[in-house]
Amino acid sequence: MNLKQLALASVFALAAATTSANAACEIGARVSIIGNEFPAIQTVGAGAAECKGAEVKKNLTADHKNIQVPGMQGNPAEYTSAIIANSTIVALMNENLIRPLDDLVAKYGKDLQPSQLIKIDGKVMAIAFMANAQHLMYRKDVLADLGLEVPKTYEDMLAAAKVIREKGVMKNPIGGAYAAGWNLAQEFNNMFLGYGGAFFKKGSAEPSVNGEAGVKALTMMKSLTEYMNPDYLTHDSNATNAEYRAGNVALLNMWGSRAATQTTTDGVTDVVKKGHAIAGPMTVGGGSIPASTLWWDGWTIAKNISDAEAEATFIAMMNGIRPKLMADKEIAKQAVWLIKGYQPSESATGVFDAAKSGTPSYPMVPYMGLMHTALGAELADFLQGKESAEQTLADVEAAYTAAAKEKGFLN
Amino acid sequence: MQHRTFFWFFFPTAAAMLLFIALPIVSVFLQSVFAPHEAVLVEVESCTPLVGCTTETQVDHDATTELRSNQPLGRFVGLDIYLDRGHLAVNEIAAAWQATDSMGDFISKVHNLPLYRALSFTLTFTFLVTPLLIIFGLMIALAVNSLHRHLKGLMIFFSLLPMIVTPLIGSLILFWMVDSRGVVGSALVALAGDPDFSMKASTGLTWVMLIIYGVWHSAPFAFVVFYAGLQTLPQDQLESAMIDGATRWQRVKYVVIPHLMPLVTFVALIQLMDNFRVFEPIVGFNASAHATSLSWIIFNDLGGETRQLSAASASSVLTILGVAILLTPVLIRTWRDFNAKS
């Protein structure tokens, strides 16, 4: 074999190698993805964009939920796939914008696990790739120094916070994403479900938050805020985490998707790095299920696109969640993946504990979004001491009812 | 000008105004008197990871599609949305009037309704910020105008900075500064002598902060306009005033301000309109627990997981009406002046 032949052979070998690598992800039509922007979703988007043969566009932004419905309403739809969570899929389902995926799953879904298939009315409507839940994060060093147990209930949390404050270790030892609006409403949802509340009267869109569970949930939230930074109504997840990282907070209920990066960003003090620990979500009021909600993130495929585009999108999105990715340690750490081959790291224990202890999933009813908005706008009045819990909850129900009447859910 | 010439001269403007101003307003108005169809709901089984299968309510698509194709605009609700609790809340107000004995009780009940709460902040903001920014703008303009010409350029640049900074960024910077761990925040804590003192936790102080921000952001606009006006001051009048022994204050009061009056009207007009639509600082300061505005209500209606287009449209129409009402006195005045001159 002379040099020329050798060169030729290696060129062929290389070409063969590249085709086989690409064969896994060769697409024949455009793909356009809309979704949130946190690291795990960036990974999925990047995986989908590796596909060759046609253009793959992605728009990953925190404002995704404001543009995904208009972006999928056209025919053809601008976005062929929306990365959603159990709260945001409802808006797409309400408008009938996503297609059943059963045939595509049968054709290309051999790598999927049964738990990844989101089935609604017997049809696969979304492919989930990660789970999320709010759970406890705490400073084991602070608790150990004072001889305190890791709180299992919110009542324990209050007792521990009292000791921490009285011993002068921290002034405001509890953290929480209590920013007025979506975050505050979500914290209420947790507590309300923990007290055994149901948002709607059975089988209807009539609200039922103004009751015993609602008042108890608000009272508990108010007690917790007494141990929080006085600016708590302006603190979203980012601001709350900043307080925790700066060592000002010892106990907080935080999203599992933030667990892995909690101590790895810049500016985390060594004390916090060493003391950081996580545990499952807490219960409240002697309840048996945790005061938290279980979430999943997944992707959907638009209805108003051609079958070829749907097929290309499915292939590309499958490439974004291929089991091989789980071998990458950095990627595996980004989330609690539902993908085959995922080895849970220590930061995933909170979410798994949440699932094991029977945490309810965030309600997937068409009018939950309206309830969430009404809660977010009205609850701050009670926490500021402007009105009673009953009055606040009556306002929530009135605001929700006005919105639900407009949207045609109530007469 | 002949009517024909005038028509062709004005036609492009009229067409653009029709297309970009009148049509959108008509569309928003239509949207506000129609609401989505009544949802046809069905119970279905849904299965999710880690939880298992549960029965959930869902929209029945076949039935909804049929409803929609019959009446694509939705169902006609007339003024229902304008009158519901999220907007003018007529029933709630009537109920509050009957249930309360004292005026104070009634007002606090009305203040609990979203639109009236938003109005109370919006109007306070508009009527405090607009005069303050006119006064500050005039003061800065007079000060800069009396500087040496080498310094003027530099000072104009610095005075304009608040307007150059994007509103959202400007408010975020201030927001971090007044944080209880921020520069201004910790200074205030020291001043107040109370370690738990927090600006962001107090409704009153949040309003003060938003109003200060509003003046800080808009004063440069008034400044530029007045500064331009000062360049056209009648020098002979000023000189004769000086010869008559008028002090600087008297010259400003009797010569400069009357000369700038048309510009004051102009600035007031623009700023009343802008301040009535106050929005960015509320988002930037995360202040929605303490202060809301009409624009914030629209944003909130559209920002939820389920968008309330009809509610947002109704709020938009109410905002337009509000601006119209606010501007009427100024417009009537301008019209009178115009007629008096001609």
List chain A residues with CB under 8 Å of B303: 66, 373
Same domain, A36 and A102: yes
The verdict on a CB contact (< 8 Å) between B46 and A118 is yes
Residue A386 lies in a domain: yes
What number of residues does chain A have? 411
The verdict on a CB contact (< 8 Å) between B306 and A90 is yes
Residue A392 falls inside a structural domain = yes
For residue B207, which residues of chain A lie inside 8 Å, CB to CB?
Answer: none
Interchain contact, A399 vs B37, CB within 8 Å: no
Q: Which residue does chain B place closest to A65, by CA atoms? A: B305
Answer yes or no: do A403 and B308 touch at CB < 8 A.
yes
Answer whether A373 sits within 8 Å of B306, measured CB to CB. Answer: yes
What would the two tokens of residue B229 be? 């006006």
In this structure, is residue A250 part of a structural domain?
yes
What distance in Å separates the CA atoms of residue B4 and residue B112, rounded to the nearest whole number? 56
Q: Is A91 on the interface with B (CB under 8 A)?
A: yes
Instruction: Please name the residues between 283 and 342 in chain A that touch chain B, using a CB distance below 8 Å.
Output: 294, 296, 338
Q: Are B229 and B138 in contact (CB under 8 A)?
A: no
Residue A378, min C-alpha distance to chain B (Å) = 8
Say how many C-beta atoms besides its own lie within 10 A of residue B171's C-beta: 25
> B342 falls in which pLDDT band (50, 70, 90)?
low
Query: Which of residues A355, A370, A396 is at a domain's end?
Result: A355
Tell whether A98 and A208 lie within a shared domain.
no
In B287-316, the residues whose Cβ lies within 8 Å of chain A are 287-290, 300-308, 310-311
State whether A128 and A277 are in the same domain. no
Task: Please list the pLDDT of chain A residue by residue as tens digits (411 residues).
Answer: 455 555 555 544 444 444 444 446 889 999 999 998 888 899 999 999 999 999 999 999 888 888 899 999 998 999 999 999 988 898 898 888 999 999 999 999 998 988 899 888 889 999 999 999 999 999 999 999 999 999 999 999 999 999 999 999 999 999 999 999 999 999 999 999 999 999 999 878 999 999 999 999 999 999 999 999 988 999 988 889 999 999 999 999 999 888 878 888 877 888 999 999 999 999 999 999 999 999 999 999 999 999 999 999 999 999 999 999 999 888 888 888 999 889 888 888 899 889 888 898 898 888 999 999 999 999 999 999 989 999 999 999 999 999 999 998 988
Q: How far is B62 from chain A (nearest CA, A)?
A: 9
Does A2 reside within a domain? no
Both A173 and A322 in one domain: the answer is no
d(CA B234, CA B243): 15
A367 shares its domain with A343: no
Q: How many domains does chain A have?
A: 2
The answer to whether residue A153 sits within a structural domain is yes
Residues of A in Cβ contact (< 8 Å) with B38 = 408-409, 411
Of A76, A78, A56, nearest in space to A68 by CA: A78
Residue A185, domain extent: 133-293+359-406
User: Chain A to chain B, count of Cβ pairs less than 8 Å apart?
Assistant: 184
Flag if B57 and A401 touch (Cβ within 8 Å). Answer: no
Which residues on A lie below 8 Å from B179 (Cβ)? 231
CB contact under 8 A, A403 and B48: no
**Residue numbers in A near B44 (CB within 8 A):** 120-122
Report the SS3 class of residue B45. strand
Q: Where are the alpha helices (DSSP H) in chain B?
A: 3-17, 23-33, 61-70, 80-83, 90-99, 103-111, 114-145, 149-164, 167-177, 183-192, 203-230, 235-243, 248-251, 257-276, 280-284, 294-303, 309-341
Indicate whether A317 and A391 sit together in one domain: no
- Considering the domain architecture, whether residues A124 and A155 belong to the same structural domain is answered as no
ipTM, two decimals, is 0.86
CATH of the domain at A210: 3.40.190.10
Per residue in B195-221, pLDDT (tens digit) is 777 888 888 989 999 999 999 999 999
Question: In terms of CA atoms, which chain A residue is nearest residue B180?
Answer: A231
**Does some domain include residue A4?**
no
Residue at token pair 């009938």 = A96
C-alpha–C-alpha distance, residues A361 and A355, integer Å: 9
Question: pTM of the entire structure?
Answer: 0.87
Residue A226: count of CB within 10 angstroms of its CB: 14
pLDDT, tens digit, for every residue of B122-166? 999 999 999 999 999 999 999 999 888 888 889 999 989 988 888
Q: Within the 96-135 window of chain B, which residues sit less than 8 Å (CB to CB) from chain A?
A: 112, 114
For residue B42, the chain A residues in CB contact (below 8 A) are: 121
Architecture of domain B113-341: Orthogonal Bundle (1.10)
A59 touches chain B (CB under 8 A): no
- In a mutational test of the A interface, the residue from B306, B308, B309, B310 whose CB has the highest number of chain A CBs within 10 Å is B306
State the amino acid at position A236 in one-letter form: D
Domain boundaries, chain B: 38-76, 113-341
Query: CA-CA distance, A99 to A340, in Å (whole number)?
Result: 24
Contact B304, A369 (CB under 8 A): yes
- CB A121 to CB B288 under 8 A? no
Q: Which residues of A touch B51 (CB under 8 A)?
A: 294, 355, 360-361
Q: In this complex, is the C-beta atom of B53 within 8 Å of any C-beta atom belonging to chain A?
A: yes
CA distance A383 to B319: 29
Q: Are A68 and A91 in contact (CB under 8 A)?
A: yes
